[in-house]
Amino acid sequence: VTTAPRTPPGPDLRTDVAGLRLPNPVMTAAGCGGPELAAYSDLAALGAVVTRTVTLDPRAGAPAPRLAETASGVLGAVGRQNPGLQGFLATELPWYVQRQVRTVVSIGAGSLGEYAELARRVGTAPGVTAVEVQLTATDAYQTGKVLHVVRRDLPHDIPVLAKLGATGGDVVDLASAAAQNGADAVVVSQGFPGLVMDPRTLRPALGAGAGWLSGPAIHPLALRQVWDIHAALPDVPVIGVGGIRTGLDALGMLLAGACAVQVGSALFQDPSSATRVLDELAGELAERDIDRVSDVIGLAHDLERSRR
Amino acid sequence: VSVQTGPVQVTGEVLSIKRAGAYHHLTLVATGVAERFRPGTFVSLAIGGAMSDRVLRRPLPVYRVRPTGAYGGTLESVFEATDPATSWLAALPAGSPVQVVGPLGRPFALPKEAVTCVLVAEGCASAPMFALAERLRERGCPVHMLLGAATEARLFGALEARRATRGVTVTTGDGSVGLASDVVDPLPDLLTRTHAEVVYAAGPTAMLHAVARAAETHGAWSQTAVEVTAGCGTGLCLSCVLPVVGEDGVTRMVRGCAEGPVFRGDRVRWDDVGRVPEDARGAS
């Protein structure tokens, strides 16, 4: 009889997102990968995987080029290329379910009717962990209307995450409207609207013209949104996304009030980065003698208050 | 013997980078890539080193691999420094660590029988053709090569091609060596003369289109390797898509890195590459 060497237990990484119990707070972000990631990471070991945004009908997406590299980031306009809901439910979703991957289905639509139909059909599919609503609205009124429809037409045991529209305005207003209309949690941030010029053609570089900026460049902007929402609406669960590429970046989001984080464009640079961020986060906590992820969620607000 | 498939993600190490005319010839130690390599597959490299905050990788076609050696498995690639990322790569000193993912994508399909094959490439896109020629010769396929470039400095592998194939035709735009013509110009005659049944091609879109057309005219199959644009290389970012007609006749925007880089030439809607045709559907 041999005794396995005892390794000290790492920090307790479990987190709770609006009643959704996850083994750890690290998810992948919408539009930054799918089953392809399985070659590099154990997807079932992540907090969850957020799918590419699914629309009712198949979408061929935007013309090339769809990405342009920027200082510490990338400007993108993919145009929501996806196989449509039917194709997604027939192939991609069962692939995740079979591998016991916690799957957050990202949905996007151009009208309330489409959002409603997506909610109804995704809601009856087996194995959906949560639904993330990709919002294009940048005002509180429209944001609330979309969330109302999705919440109304989705079974109540499926949490709704509202990925708030990219806004130059007050993100707290959007978060408040989403929560009041049935969102169980809010997700910030989407990419920020941006532009890159092509030095050769002297025109905007992307096929679609303008695009959305993501990557390390937006990390402080996203962190600020998490901070502001948590400060104003401490009871609304927030998921932080934007330029996270290290465990320290993830820790920052948790300190600002996020109960989970999503790794996005870092996956382009390092397809195993979600797993790496999770491992690094555990290391960052252990290094600081912090036993539980739940102990650091919003901690920076408390520390700031006690300093004054 | 187990067949190893799929990509690996490893920290490679630069063994050497040498000039090769207008190009750079990179040799990397990258464990596990060589065993999985098949001609036409590529690797994706992270740019800028450990402190880099660059989001996009650079895809590099693979010239050749050696599964074992004094330094472990190596891979070689020939590339042109066209932007700050590839210039950084070209300037790396020996011993530098580089993050490697590969081999990626679908390889050239090999004929089941010993049929005559013509391999056509422009510039350093010829690099992957030598490993392909070797595989074809192992199968008893007579191989002819057609290499072209704008100038002599932009030709890659013309000498090696003479050793590796039954016949080589070289073209340059300025006539500095070989025929003064476009690389595809001699192809119809070559196909007639050799009775080739398969044409393999690598290079820019317009050239691949011309190759696919010539092959079709001669009743030959074509296998065309498209250039994968900067992005992730791993199928995640959906930036390198092009319109390809499926077996069901439906055009889909498919990824050059994942469903390609090698496509049947008669399946690609060459005139629509760079655009999204009205009738194209979403995929992946």
- Residue by residue, DSSP assigns B125-186 as GGHHHHHHHHHHHHTT--EEEEEEESSGGG--SHHHHHHHSSEEEEEETT-SSSEES-TTTT
d(CA A61, CA A83): 10
- Print pLDDT tens along chain B (284 aa): 445 678 999 999 999 999 999 999 999 999 999 999 999 999 999 999 888 889 999 999 999 999 877 778 999 999 999 999 999 999 999 999 999 999 999 999 999 999 999 999 999 999 999 999 999 999 999 999 999 999 999 999 998 998 888 899 999 999 999 999 999 999 999 999 999 999 999 999 999 999 999 999 999 999 999 999 989 999 999 999 999 999 999 999 999 999 999 999 999 999 999 999 999 987 65
Tens digits of per-residue pLDDT, A143-184?
999 999 999 999 999 999 999 998 767 899 999 999 999 999
By C-alpha distance, which of B94, B26, B108 is closest to B65? B26
Residues 166-185 of A with CB under 8 A from B: none
Q: Which residues in chain A are closer than 8 Å to B238, comparing Cβ atoms?
A: 61, 66, 78, 81
Nearest-CA distance from A52 to chain B in Å?
A: 9
Q: Cβ–Cβ contacts within 10 Å for residue B159, how many?
A: 9
pLDDT of res. B50: 81
Contact (CB<8Å) A39/B6: yes
Virtual torsion, Cα A119, A122, A127, A132, nearest 10 deg: -50
Average pLDDT, chain A: 95
What is the helix (H) or strand (E) element at residue A241, kind and residue range? strand A238-241
Burial A258-284 (b: 16+ CB within 10 A, else e): bbbbbbbbbbbbbbbbbbbbbebbbeb
3-state secondary structure of A306: helix
d(CA B76, CA B82): 18
**Is it the case that residue A8 has pLDDT exceeding 70?**
no
Size of interface A-B (CB pairs under 8 A): 120
Are the CB atoms for B203 and B222 separated by under 8 Å? no
Tens digits of per-residue pLDDT, A204-215?
999 999 999 999
pTM of the model: 0.94
d(CA A193, CA A216): 15
- Burial category of A180 from C-beta neighbours within 10 Å (exposed 0-12, middle 13-18, buried 19 and up): middle
Q: Which residues in chain A are closer than 8 Å to B252, comparing Cβ atoms?
A: 60
What's chain B's length in residues? Answer: 284
Looking at residues A232-242, what average pLDDT do you find? 98
Nearest CA in chain A to B44: A269
List Cα–Cα distances, A19 to A157, A185, A232, in angstroms.
10, 10, 21
User: Would you give the DSSP letter of residue A29?
Assistant: P
Pick from B43, B238, B242, B253 the residue to mutate for testing the A interface (most A CBs within 10 Å): B238
Phi, psi torsion values for B269, nearest 5 degrees = -85, 85
Q: Indicate the angle between helix axes B205-217 and B187-194, nearest 10 degrees.
A: 40
By C-alpha distance, which of B30, B216, B228, B238 is closest to B125? B228
Nearest CA in chain A to B100: A270
What's chain A's length in residues? Answer: 308
Contact (CB<8Å) A269/B57: yes
What is the helix (H) or strand (E) element at residue B12, kind and residue range? strand B8-20
pLDDT of res. B100: 97
d(CA B113, CA B95): 43
Report the percent of chain A where pLDDT is more than 90: 93
Token pair of B255 as six digits = 């990824």
By C-alpha distance, which of B211, B161, B207, B162 is closest to B190? B211
pLDDT of res. B51: 81
- Whether the bond between B103 and the residue before it is cis, its omega within 30 degrees of 0, is yes
Token pair of A269 as six digits = 């640079």
Sheet holding B179-180, edge to edge: B179-180, B167-172, B143-149, B117-122, B198-202, B221-225, B262-264
> Which tops the pLDDT comparison, A308 or A106?
A106
A216 in B contact zone (CB under 8 Å):
yes
Report the percent of chain A where pLDDT is more than 70: 97
Contact (CB<8Å) B55/A268: yes
Contacts (Cβ under 8 Å, ≥6 apart) of A208: A62, A63, A66, A77, A79
Contact (CB<8Å) B282/A36: no
Q: What is the CA radius of gyration of chain B?
A: 18
**Is it the case that residue A141 has pLDDT exceeding 70?**
yes
pLDDT of res. B165: 84
pLDDT of res. B1: 43
Nearest-CA distance from A4 to chain B in Å?
A: 29
Pick from A49, A268, A270, A272 the residue to mutate for testing the B interface (most B CBs within 10 Å): A268
Q: Which residues in chain B are closer than 8 Å to A58, comparing Cβ atoms?
A: 281-283
d(CA A187, CA A152): 20
Tens digits of per-residue pLDDT, A9-44?
789 999 999 999 999 999 999 999 899 999 999 999
- Whether the bond between B284 and the residue before it is cis, its omega within 30 degrees of 0, is no
Contact (CB<8Å) B236/A37: yes
Residues 209-238 of B with CB under 8 A from A: 229-232, 234-238
Are the CB atoms for B187 and B169 separated by under 8 Å? no
B282 in A contact zone (CB under 8 Å):
yes
d(CA B47, CA B57): 6
Sequence-distant contacts of B60-64: CB under 8 A, at least 24 apart:
B60/B26, B61/B125, B61/B127, B61/B128, B61/B202, B61/B225, B61/B261, B62/B33, B62/B37, B62/B102, B62/B103, B62/B127, B62/B128, B62/B131, B63/B25, B63/B127, B63/B128, B63/B130, B63/B131, B64/B130, B64/B131
Nearest CA in chain A to B282: A60
Pick from B83, B236, B271, B281 the residue to mutate for testing the A interface (most A CBs within 10 Å): B236
Pick from A56, A69, A75, A213 the residue to mutate for testing the B interface (most B CBs within 10 Å): A69
d(CA A241, CA A274): 12
Contact (CB<8Å) B282/A63: no
A193 in B contact zone (CB under 8 Å):
no
pLDDT of res. B3: 56
B254 in A contact zone (CB under 8 Å):
no
Which of A6-20, A64-78, A79-93, A255-269 is predicted with the least confidence, judged by mean pLDDT? A6-20
Q: Side-chain half-sphere of B261: how many Cα atoms within 13 Å?
A: 30
